[in-house]
Amino acid sequence: MNKKERPSFESVYMNFAKEIARRSTCKRLNVGTVITTTDFRKVLAVGYNGNASGLPNGCDRDEVGNCGCLHSEENAVINCDSPRFVEKYVFCTHLPCMACAKRLINLGNVKKIFFDTDYRKRDSVEAFITVGIQIFKIEGNDAIEVRE
């Protein structure tokens, strides 16, 4: 009897981040973020990139890196009302930029960051490693640790 392969929690939440990214209103890139507990039992917050609530659903400008959209990680941090002492995992469709890395670090008790697609700059990797946050690239059903 063939047993159905169960997806890993990492794969499930990365797929959730990809799905929530579909709500993005940014013209250039759709990005999603999901913050969970470390036992994977609770979703603490979600975010996707786009304009602030109540403003027009679109970019303010066409300049790459300066379109005016809030980043998905930023929105997830804003939406996360979980106390700092709660340990967290973060699933991002894309490796966070340095500004979002700092926001996630300040969220408190983030233990691991999982991402699917590299960002054009990788300076956030060093910041995460410096503060002891592990980083993993999701490849299929596997999470491969990034150590650079």
DSSP line for 101-112: HHHHHHHS-EEE
Kindly report, residue by residue over 21-50, the tens digit of the pLDDT.
999 999 989 999 999 999 999 999 999 999
Residue corresponding to tokens 């797929």? 15
> Which tokens sit at 113?
């960051």
Pick the more confident residue, 4 or 143: 143
* Dist. CA 140–CA 20, nearest whole Å: 19
> Would you say how long the chain is, in residues?
148
- Provide the pLDDT for residue 119: 85
Q: How large is the average pLDDT for residues 100-115?
A: 97
Contacts of 127 (CB under 8 A, 6+ apart): 98, 101, 102, 105
Report DSSP state, residue 51. P
Tell me the pLDDT of the chain averaged across its residues: 93
Name the pLDDT band for 2 (thresholds 50, 70, 90): low
